[in-house]
Structure 1
Amino acid sequence: MSIDATVPSSLSAVQQAVTDGKLTAAAAKNIEAWLTEDRYAEYRDEVIEHIVAGKWQKLDDVFWTIIPFGTGGRRGRMYSIGSNAINDRTIGESAQGLADYVVEFHKGKKDLSCAIAYDTRHKSRHFTELCAGIMAAAGIKVYLLDDYRATPQLSFAVRYKKCDCGIMVTASHNPPSDNAVKVYWSSGAQVLPPHDKAIIGKVMNCQQIRSMPFDEAVAKGMVEVVTEEVDKAYFDAASKCAFEGPRDVKLLYTPLHGVGAAAVVPLAKRDGFTDIEIYGPHAEKSGDFPNVPGHVSNPENAAIFDEPIKHAQAHGQNLILATDPDCDRIGVAAPKTMDTAGPWRTFNGNEIGAILAEYVLSKRKAAGTLSPQHYIVKTLVTTELTRRIAEEYGVRCVGDLLVGFKYIAEVIDREGPDQFVYGTEESHGYLVGQYCRDKDGAVAAMLMFELAAELKAQNISMHDYLCDLFRKHGYHRETLINLVMEGSEGMAAMQRLMKSFRTSPPESVAGIKIAKVRDYAAGTITDTATGKSEKLDGPTGDLIILDLAEEGNYVAVRPSGTEPKIKLYVFTRLEPAKSQDLDAADSVLGSRIQTLEKDVRAYAAKNA
Structure 2
Amino acid sequence: MQDPLSAVKTAQSESKISSSAADNIRSWLTEDRYADYRSAVVEHIEEERWQKLDDVFWTIIPFGTGGRRGRMYPIGSNAINDRTIGESAQGLANYVVEYAKGRSGLSCAIAYDTRHQSRHFTELCAGIMVAAGFKVYLLDDYRATPQLSFAVRYKNCDCGIMVTASHNPPSDNAVKVYWSSGAQVLPPHDKAIIEKVMSCQEINITPFEQAVADGMIEMVTAEVDEAYFEAVLQQSFAGPRDAKVLYTPLHGVGAAAVLPVLERDGFEHVELYGPHAEKSGDFPNVPGHVSNPENKAVFEKPIEYAKANGLDVVLATDPDCDRLGVAAPLTTDPSGEWGTFNGNQIASILCEYVLSKRAETKSLDDHSYIIKTLVTTELLRRIAEQYNVRCVGNLLVGFKYIAEVMDREGPNGFVFGAEESHGYLVGQYCRDKDAAVACMLMSELVAELKTKKQSLHDFFGDLQRKHGYHKETLINLMMEGSEGMAAMQRLMNAFRHSPPKQLADIPVSTIRDYGDQTTTDVSSGEKQKLEGPHSNLIILDLDEEGNYVAARPSGTEPKIKLYVFTRLSPEDSGDLGVAEQRLAERLAGIETDMRTFAKAHG
| Same-fold call, TM cutoff 0.5 | yes
- For structure 1, the 5+ residue unaligned runs are 1-6
Provide the secondary structure at the position in 2 that maps to 1:591: helix
Aligned positions of 1:455-474 closer than 5 A:
455-474=449-468
1:481 aligns with 2:475: yes
Deviations 1:57-97 (A, max 9, x none): 10001000000000010000000000000000000000000
> What is the one-letter code of the residue matched to 2:581?
S
> What is the one-letter code of the residue matched to 2:75?
I
1:19 aligns with 2:33: no
How far apart in 1 are the matches of 2:499 and 2:166?
33
How far apart in 2 are the matches of 1:270 and 1:540?
43
2:568 is aligned to: 574
2:188 is aligned to: 194
> What is the one-letter code of the residue matched to 1:55?
R
Q: How much does 1:372 deviate?
A: 2.5
How far apart in 1 are the matches of 2:112 and 2:474?
29
2:161 is aligned to: 167
Of residues 192, 201, 207 in structure 2, which corresponds to 1:207? 201
1:276 is aligned to: 270
> What is the one-letter code of the residue matched to 2:140?
D
2:117 is aligned to: 123
How far apart in 1 are the matches of 2:446 and 2:579?
26
> What is the one-letter code of the residue matched to 2:163?
V
> What is the one-letter code of the residue matched to 2:526?
K
How far apart in 2 are the matches of 1:109 and 1:542?
37
2:397 is aligned to: 403
Of residues 129, 132, 135 in structure 2, which corresponds to 1:141? 135
Of residues 28, 40, 49 in structure 1, which corresponds to 2:43? 49
How far apart in 2 are the matches of 1:127 and 1:353?
33
Task: Flag as ranges the 4+ runs of structure 1 deviating above 3 A.
Answer: none
> What is the one-letter code of the residue matched to 1:236?
E
Provide the secondary structure at the position in 1 that maps to 2:302: helix
> What is the one-letter code of the residue matched to 1:509?
L
How far apart in 2 are the matches of 1:417 and 1:372?
14
Aligned positions of 1:399-438 closer than 5 A:
399-438=393-432
1:3 is aligned to: none
Aligned positions of 1:568-607 closer than 5 A:
568-607=562-601
Deviations 1:303-333 (A, max 9, x none): 0000000000100000000000000000000
How far apart in 1 are the matches of 2:69 and 2:410?
31
Of residues 467, 484, 491 in structure 2, which corresponds to 1:490? 484
Of residues 532, 543, 546 in structure 2, which corresponds to 1:552? 546
Q: How much does 1:18 deviate?
A: 1.2
Of residues 158, 163, 175 in structure 2, which corresponds to 1:181? 175
Deviations 1:97-150 (A, max 9, x none): 000000000011110000000000000000000000000000011000000000
> What is the one-letter code of the residue matched to 1:353?
A
Provide the secondary structure at the position in 1 that maps to 2:22: helix
TM-score, normalised by the number of residues in structure 2: 1.00
- For structure 2, the 5+ residue unaligned runs are none
Q: How much does 1:373 deviate?
A: 1.6
> What is the one-letter code of the residue matched to 1:492?
A
2:102 is aligned to: 108
Provide the secondary structure at the position in 1 that maps to 2:68: strand
How far apart in 2 are the matches of 1:514 and 1:216?
62
How far apart in 2 are the matches of 1:443 and 1:594?
34
1:96 aligns with 2:54: no
1:304 is aligned to: 298
Deviations 1:278-307 (A, max 9, x none): 000000000000000000000000000000
Matched positions, count:
602
How far apart in 1 are the matches of 2:525 and 2:62?
35
> What is the one-letter code of the residue matched to 1:595?
G
Aligned positions of 1:211-230 closer than 5 A:
211-230=205-224
2:358 is aligned to: 364
Deviations 1:163-193 (A, max 9, x none): 0000000000000000000000000000000
Of residues 254, 257, 260 in structure 1, which corresponds to 2:251? 257
Aligned positions of 1:499-518 closer than 5 A:
499-518=493-512
How far apart in 2 are the matches of 1:8 and 1:592?
60
How far apart in 2 are the matches of 1:11 and 1:499?
36
1:386 aligns with 2:361: no
Q: Percent identity?
A: 71
How far apart in 1 are the matches of 2:284 and 2:101?
47
How far apart in 2 are the matches of 1:599 and 1:586?
20
Provide the secondary structure at the position in 1 that maps to 2:64: coil
How far apart in 2 are the matches of 1:89 and 1:406?
26
How far apart in 2 are the matches of 1:41 and 1:337?
63
> What is the one-letter code of the residue matched to 2:301?
E
Q: How much does 1:21 deviate?
A: 1.7
Provide the secondary structure at the position in 1 that maps to 2:161: strand
> What is the one-letter code of the residue matched to 1:150?
A
> What is the one-letter code of the residue matched to 1:470?
Q
> What is the one-letter code of the residue matched to 1:223?
I
1:4 is aligned to: none
How far apart in 2 are the matches of 1:250 and 1:236?
23
Q: How much does 1:587 deviate?
A: 1.0
- What is the RMSD of the two structures over their aligned residues, measured on CA atoms? 0.4
Q: How much does 1:222 deviate?
A: 1.0
1:239 is aligned to: 233
Deviations 1:531-587 (A, max 9, x none): 011110000111000000100000000000000000000000000000001111111
How far apart in 1 are the matches of 2:85 and 2:193?
13
How far apart in 2 are the matches of 1:531 and 1:53?
55
Deviations 1:397-454 (A, max 9, x none): 0000000000000000000000000000000000000000000000000000000100
TM-score, normalised by the number of residues in structure 1: 0.99
> What is the one-letter code of the residue matched to 1:252?
L
Deviations 1:505-536 (A, max 9, x none): 11111001111000001010110111011110
How far apart in 1 are the matches of 2:76 and 2:169?
19
Q: How much does 1:19 deviate?
A: 1.5
